[in-house]
Structure 1
Amino acid sequence: MTTITKTIDPITLQVIGGALHAIAEQMGNVLYRMSYSSIIRESQDLGAGLFDLDYNTLCESDSTPMHIGSIPGYLRGIEKSIPKGDWREGDVVIHNHPYFGASHSPDIGIVMPIFYHGELVGFSANTAHHLDIGAATPGLIIDVPDVFAEGMLLNGLKLVEAGKRNDTLWRYISGNTRVPGLVMRDLEAQIASAELGVKRYCELMDSYGRDTVEQAAKQLMDYSETMLRREIAKIPDGDYFAEGFMDDDGRTRGVRLPIKVTVRVRGDGVEVDLTGSSPQVPTAFNVPFEGSTKVACYFAFRALLLDTYTHQEYIPQNEGSFRPVTVTAPLGSIFNPIAPAACEARFNQIQRVVDLIIKALAPVLPDKCTAGNAACLSFASYSGLRDSGDYWVLIEVNEAAMGARPQSDGPDTIEELMRNTRNNPLEDLGMHLPMICDRYEIRDDVFPGAGEYRGGMGVVKSQRFLTPGFMTHESDRNEDVPWGIFGGHEGATAIVRIENSVSGAPARDVDAKFSGMRAELGDVVTYLSPCGGGYGHPLNRDPAKVLDDLLDGYITLDHAQQVYGVVFEPVKNGYGWGLDAGATDALRARMRAA
């Protein structure tokens, strides 16, 4: 093959870039539309894309950032078992080992090699969160001693070899999950997605030629790198610091885990240093370095500096946006654990890393940062046994809220930061599982983080067991409140509450993390997510927005007056409230003077 070094013209470059993105989107669509479990079918907890021979990301689906950013780590981990020379056309490889690049063990990767005219030219791959991989507790795990208790560890194994299905491995996987009917069908959906990627990439090469497509891919990656470096170079050189803490490790209650982030900006490159963060813990509350820690840091800078809606230029989503960012985490720390430490319950920690990167850079990026986000994840696993003896399992991701932004309020009840998953429709729950949702609405027991722009409001969700079962809850931020910024007030922490609708036993608040808890008939588990912090001083908030919040029930008359300095009076000959402009101006003047 003759390698082209000639620069591809801008029009062809953009057409090929659009085609690559369309392929990744099609792969993601096939995966979630063909899947059976709700965590993939409804929540779209997945990622898909194409990769070159050096495992660079060429394109990615608009899915969960955690998934797609981690696949190069999967490929490098697989190479330790399958060198490039051992790939055969028609191979399908399965991989989920967190110490060989995977994001965490339930995120199973499926990889297919792409051969074009007999030569290996790249890889088509995807990952998806599987409902159960035979771990110590159904669905999710927290309090386990090591990575072997996380369930099946599949380290670069060929499900299909040169087109011939490995029935022994298929039977092994089917026999070691509590819900084989869902897991095996989800794997088939992943294979269909990867097959589509292989087909479409070869068709793209048929249309433009291999040399042109590969040269275009290199230019597109270089372009994305250049765009990110341009934005980093605008930040003054320096070391920027922020810190917070996690509630506990899910076992040792009352012992907080420090999270420390130093962002070092030098020229057009940046380093995220997590030195000083907690040592690794004896539960699954650790973070795989390659597949999760690094990916979180990549995401933070792409979200801050390359947001699609803040740039007129088209910026492809590819490997180029990873190159300017380096990540440091001491071996043996919570963000770089030593095998065989368990590391399945890793998402809350990386959410907080992203939030703290934003906080660290807020003084020099005031027009791009947010106030404190919820920056956590309520990951709930509900399960039980049917009369037939078969398991039912539901994994649910609950929404939270963003912090306020430089020009607008924080969005309410949203999957913020690295999540980008969708909610499970309540009808789907009621049709398939012995549970029912009693309450699902915006949180109303606290006020949003006050500011010129207020923080987002969290969600309240109450799920009731219609039969005895089990529950595991992976969450955090019951203790560390989301921060306000530039005079804004802090938000609100999370609450997890349990009561029983049958016995009438009083409600009790519990820890954010608990593992394999027995649930009785009528148990109601309520999650109240954190609320975001405020941006700017509350006395600068437009009184009309304060009125909107009052009418929406987010705040009270007293709160409007005491915090925002806004006075309302009853509307004459009508219902509701109207602004008392004179009293508001006078009150705000007194409050500013004080």
Structure 2
Amino acid sequence: MSSASTDLNAIELEIARNRLTSISEEVGMALIRTSYSPNIKDRRDCSAGIYGPDGRLISQAEHIPLHLGLMPTMIANVIAEYGVENLNPGDVLMTNNPYVGGSHLPDMCVITPIFVDDEVVALIATMAHHVDIGGMTPGSMDAAATEIFQEGIRVPPIKLFSGGEIQRETLAFLLMNIRTADKTRGDLMAQVAANRLGERRVLELIEEWGTQEFTSSCDALVAYGERRTRAAISSLPNGTGTFTDYLEHNGVEQVDIPITATVTVSGEEITIDLTEAADQVKGAVNCSYAVAQACAAYVVKMLADPTLPSNAGLTAPIDVRTRPGSLVHAEFPAPVAHGNTQTSQRIVDTILGAFEEFTEHLVPAASSGSMSIVTIGGVDTRTGDYYSYVETYGGGQGAAFDMNGASATHTHMTNTRNTPCEVIEREYPLRVEAYEISRGTGGKGKTSGGDGILRHLTLTHGSATVVAGTSRVTTKPWGLQGGEPGSNAQIQKHTDEETTALPAMSKFDVEAGHGVSIQTAGGGGYGSPH
């Protein structure tokens, strides 16, 4: 780097962007390779990034859009609440509080401040979905929870490490409230270790560049991200569109829950108004306002320019408006476990529908509309230990104007892999009866929607509690411009005597020999199939 100014030339910007992105990617890979649970090491349900001392996003790995979009809000709020002046070298913070901008309780955020000469110059943060965080159901994802206390232990911003020393009493208190304490401890320590690696890499960079040059480069990258985003937005048509879509289940009962988005593009700025969304509901499909912000940023990047830098500059021209106490801006003590898995996907559908009102050939048809989560947990009678199987399933991608939708894939706010069948049968008392693409479930069109997935699991030992949550069971992913909708999702409980179709959000117990199957929805088609 040749200058301490934020006016870096194009080559210097690319060097800085790639150096910082490579650190974020390395942190994420270290977390994946050292974690204990299949949910992180196989499914990669985690994210990593570099932040400024105030929580401003500088760089992130291309992991899960939901995590990555809400972490800047969460980290900024955590640092403001805890106070940067109360941090010391060797400290590590952790929190999972959705009301400060988190997602749901299993998503634990671990934050490590980086010091140079007793001053915080940056933060390294990772977020990972832990397979249990307590609460009334194994896996901590009970759809029928009616208050946050039923979903698990809520951790305020506290120190996991202080001055380089682990806070053993804090950790012991946390693990005593968690069924899978060994997995959770291992995954937490993997987050801490990954953050330490990121700290070393950033300090190596600062040793090479100097503190002032590092800070100036971060400022330049954010300014560059904002310039790029504003230019991309200005290429979109000016206009306003309003669209309403519905969730079909509140976690407790089947009921239509409207989400309305009004999108306005004016010059190089976008306003996304979600204030007309329904009030927060009884069950666990509420979400924090940071989730809504993450969805908005994702859609803008998706439609305006997918190559836009993922830093604080991306969100600067986007004004996201939510109403406190609503489904998309839940307030204490609303349960939020499935705000991630269900509501975030419907927010995306709603914003896309609003864009479709004033654009042409830009918006794709609706995808499967859910992260389609299944958790199965209990005590493994072979070992006497608690276990918790957690997995989200892909579905059909909505077709675009010039492209068929992909089949059996994660879309929009999720970006995890699947758990291999061999890993499921090795780690849990489960047998995989079927795992296949549900052929013909995508909507037909000039371009066709992708097909969903079918997975059928059988419990082999003991008894267990199952939570299965999906969407588009009573509705279908919509097609566009004459394209046909995708097929419905299905959940079924299997016993020796019968197979029973279940609602979109279901919880039930199974015995050995019984099981569950889930078929995810296909994507909508685009254009008339004729």
| TM-score, normalised with respect to structure 1 | 0.86
Question: Could you tell me which amino acid in structure 2 is paired with residue 67 of structure 1?
Answer: H
1:559 paired residue number: none
Shift of 1:95: 0.7
Within-5 A mapping of 1:147-546 = 147-253=148-254, 255-290=255-290, 292-308=291-307, 315-347=308-340, 348-387=342-381, 388-444=383-439, 446-467=440-461, 468-500=463-495, 503=496, 505-515=497-507, 517-539=508-530
Identify the residue that residue 545 of structure 1 maps to in structure 2: none
1-structure distance, mates of 2:213, 2:79? 27
CA distance in 2, matches of 1:56, 1:374: 32
Q: Is the 8 A contact 1:49 1:61 kept in 2?
A: yes
Q: Structure 2 CA distance, aligned partners of 1:521 and 1:96?
A: 34
8 Å contact from structure 2 (residues 241, 358) kept in 1 = no
* CA apart distance, 1:363: 4.6
| Counterpart mapping for 1:73-152 below 5 A | 73-139=73-139, 140-152=141-153
User: Aligned to 1:296, what secondary structure does the other structure show?
Assistant: helix
**Cα distance, 1:151–1:175 mapped onto 2, change above 3 Å:** same
Task: After superposition, give the CA deviation of every residue in 1:397-426 in whole Å (9 maximum; x if it has no partner).
Answer: 111111111211100000011111000000
C-alpha separation between the residues in 2 aligned to 1:430 and 1:236? 51
Residue matched to 1:554: none
Listed one character per residue, the Cα deviations across residues 361-417 of structure 1 (whole Å, up to 9, x for unaligned) are 125443432111112121111112123432111001111111111211100000011
CA pair 530-317 structure 1, distance change in 2 beyond 3 A: same
Q: CA deviation at 1:103?
A: 1.7
What CA distance in whole angstroms lies between the structure 2 residues aligned with 1:335 and 1:363? 22
**In the TM superposition, what is the alpha-carbon distance from 1:137 to its structure 2 partner?**
0.6
Query: Aligned partners of 2:488 and 2:275: how far apart in 1?
Result: 26
Return the offset for 1:98: 0.7
- Structure 1 stretches of 4+ moved >6 Å: none
**Greater relative contact order structure (CA < 8 Å, 6+ sep):** 2
The amino acid that maps onto 2:305 is L
Any gaps of 5 or more consecutive residues in structure 2?
none
- CA drift of 1:353 comes to 1.1
Take 1:379 and 1:6, find their aligned partners in 2: how far apart are those partners?
Answer: 44
What is the Cα deviation at residue 356 of structure 1? 2.1
SS of alignment partner, residue 47 of structure 1? strand
Counterparts of 1:522 and 1:305 in 2: how far apart (Å)? 50
Task: Tell me the secondary structure at the aligned position of residue 392 of structure 1.
Answer: strand
Which shifted more, 408-417 or 377-386? Answer: 377-386
Counterpart contact for 1:235–1:364, Cα < 8 Å: no
The 3 A distance-change label for structure 1 pair 459 and 117 is same
> Whole-Å Cα distance in 2 between the matches of residues 259 and 150 of structure 1?
24
Question: Greater Rg, structure 1 or structure 2?
Answer: 1
Secondary structure in 2 matching 1:126: strand
Q: Decide whether the 8 Å contact of 2:262 with 2:354 is kept in 1.
A: yes
- Alpha-carbon shift at residue 23 of structure 1 (Å): 0.2
**Partner of 1:556 in structure 2?**
none
The Cα of 1:359 is off from its aligned counterpart by: 2.1
Give 3-state SS (helix, strand or coil) of 2:108's partner: strand
CA RMSD of aligned residues (A): 1.5
- Provide the C-alpha distance between the structure 1 equivalents of 2:410 and 2:237, rounded to a whole number of angstroms: 31
> Equivalents in 1 of 2:515, 2:169: separation in Å?
42
TM-score for the superposition, normalised by structure 2: 0.96
Question: Aligned partners of 1:38, 1:143: CA distance in 2, in Å?
Answer: 25
In 2: Cα distance, 1:79 partner to 1:98 partner = 15
Structure 1 unpaired stretches of 5+: 309-314, 540-594
Whole-angstrom distance in 1 between the partners of 2:6 and 2:401: 43
Whether contact under 8 Å (1:49, 1:197) holds in the other structure is no
Shift of 1:74: 2.3
- The 10-residue stretch of structure 1 (225-234 or 428-437) with the greater mean CA deviation from structure 2: 225-234
Percentage of matched positions with identical amino acids: 28
| 1:55 counterpart SS class | coil
The separation in 1 between residues aligned to 2:357 and 2:77, in whole angstroms, is 38
Q: In 1, Cα distance between the equivalents of 2:348 and 2:360?
A: 16
Change (3 A) 1:447 1:111: closer
In the alignment, residue 323 of structure 1 is paired with which amino acid? A
Conservation of the 8 A alpha-carbon contact between 1:70 and 1:295: yes
The alignment of Structure 1 onto Structure 2 pairs a total of residues equal to 524
